[in-house]
């Protein structure tokens, strides 16, 4: 059996966003049902290189299909300046759960962007008002693109407001989407007043205040993936219906982690996990004027679910490279 090789363009071409959203929803459901295996993310700290490696293995059974794989990803902050390389380089190995044959080796960076957008879309579908038409983005980096692409799959987004300190990044974002949406630059407050808000920054201090939000804004808090990071005013967490992806991860390194550690919120303030909502064990939005927050730290099951979609399409394509990794 041949192993497929998929670079960034190959991942992008075969990650059909609607299907990725469905698969990531299936992953959340499998995790909630106990039909997933996901060991804790492990780290190799390389202080001599000012970097680290992280391994994220997972298996999930969605019923009609199952999937297994591991994402090997790094964070090397000196890469851009010293080596003209990205800070983060991800590689995904997608394997046949029955035989362990590596079915594909694919770019994990593009895959991560796709699955992160899809996770926000799953939560938005459950928590945003049904008639949501406007979307705000705080942060105009690479993650902002898939946030809009994914959420536009499940809500008829028309107006988009994007805010970032980097005006060039904002201009590039506006240029990319101006033919599909009424998209413009704006302040954080203008972005936060929209029906849906996604925050995708590396901020270590709150940048979105409680006063900025609309009466029914749903927030996808995507940027905080380490204990030092924070994007939202703690007053937002106190007032909002809080939904998380995983208790251990979000209380350790998610948007809620500081407030949780400081005792501002506790388990009774967490409405539930998104998987509980997907399987029907918890309610989604119940009031038209409530603030909702999805705290996303990213789960390995999302990676294997996304890799499943990519592989299924790539295996039928004629222009995908492959090689024989498992010889006889």
Q: Which residues are catalytic?
A: 71
| Strand pairing category for 51-61 and 36-37 | antiparallel
- The answer to whether 197 and 136 have CB atoms below 8 angstroms apart is yes
Q: What angle do CA 121, 134, 208 make, to 5 degrees?
A: 80
Element (H, E) at 315: none
169 secondary structure, DSSP code: H
Rounded to whole angstroms, how far apart are CA atoms 55 and 3? 21
Name, in order, each residue with C-beta under 8 angstroms of 60's C-beta and a sequence gap of 6 or more.
26, 27, 30, 31, 35, 36, 37, 38, 66, 67, 68, 301, 304, 305
Helix, strand, coil share (%) of the chain residues, nearest 5 = 40, 25, 35
Query: At 67, phi and psi to the nearest 5?
Result: -155, 150
Q: Taking the C-alpha atoms of 148, 150, 152 and 153 in order, what is their torsion angle to the nearest 10 degrees?
A: 170
- Alpha-helix runs per DSSP H in the chain: 8-14, 17-33, 79-83, 108-127, 142-154, 167-177, 188-192, 234-239, 247-253, 257-261, 274-278, 300-314
Do 308 and 23 contact (CB within 8 A), yes or no? yes
Q: Which residue has 């964070």 as its token pair?
A: 75
* Cα 85–chain centre separation: 23
CA angle, 109 as apex, 104 and 113 as ends, to 5°?
A: 110
């Amino acid at each position: 059996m041949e192993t497929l090789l998929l670079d960034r363009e190959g991942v992008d071409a075969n990650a059909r966003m609607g299907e990725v959203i469905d698969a990531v929803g299936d992953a959340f459901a499998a995790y909630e049902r106990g039909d997933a295996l996901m060991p804790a993310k492990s780290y190799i700290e390389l202080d001599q290189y000012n970097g680290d490696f992280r391994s994220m293995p997972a298996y999930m059974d969605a019923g009609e299909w199952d999937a297994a794989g591991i994402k090997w990803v790094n964070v090397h902050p000196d890469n851009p300046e010293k080596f003209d390389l990205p800070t983060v380089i991800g590689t995904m190995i997608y394997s046949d759960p029955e035989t362990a044959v590596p079915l594909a080796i694919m770019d994990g960076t593009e895959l991560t962007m796709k699955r992160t957008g899809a996770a926000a879309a799953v939560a938005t579908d459950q928590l945003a008002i049904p008639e949501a038409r406007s979307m705000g983005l705080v942060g105009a980096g690479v993650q902002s693109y898939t946030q809009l692409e994914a959420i536009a799959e499940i809500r008829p987004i028309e107006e988009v407001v994007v805010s970032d300190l980097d005006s060039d990044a904002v201009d590039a974002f506006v240029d990319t989407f101006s033919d599909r949406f009424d998209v413009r630059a704006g302040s954080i407050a203008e972005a936060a007043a929209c029906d849906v808000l996604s925050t995708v920054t590396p901020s270590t201090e709150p940048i979105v205040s409680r006063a900025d939000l609309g009466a029914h804004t749903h927030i996808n808090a995507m940027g905080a993936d380490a204990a030092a990071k924070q994007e939202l005013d703690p007053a937002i967490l106190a007032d909002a219906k809080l939904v998380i992806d995983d208790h251990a991860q979000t209380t350790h390194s998610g948007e809620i982690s500081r407030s949780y550690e400081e005792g501002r919120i506790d388990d009774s303030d967490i409405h539930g996990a998104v998987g509980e909502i997907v399987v029907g064990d918890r309610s989604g939005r119940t009031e038209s004027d409530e603030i909702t927050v999805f705290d996303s730290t990213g789960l390995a099951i999302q990676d294997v679910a996304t890799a499943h979609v990519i592989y299924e399409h790539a295996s039928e394509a004629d222009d995908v490279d492959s090689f024989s990794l498992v010889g006889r």
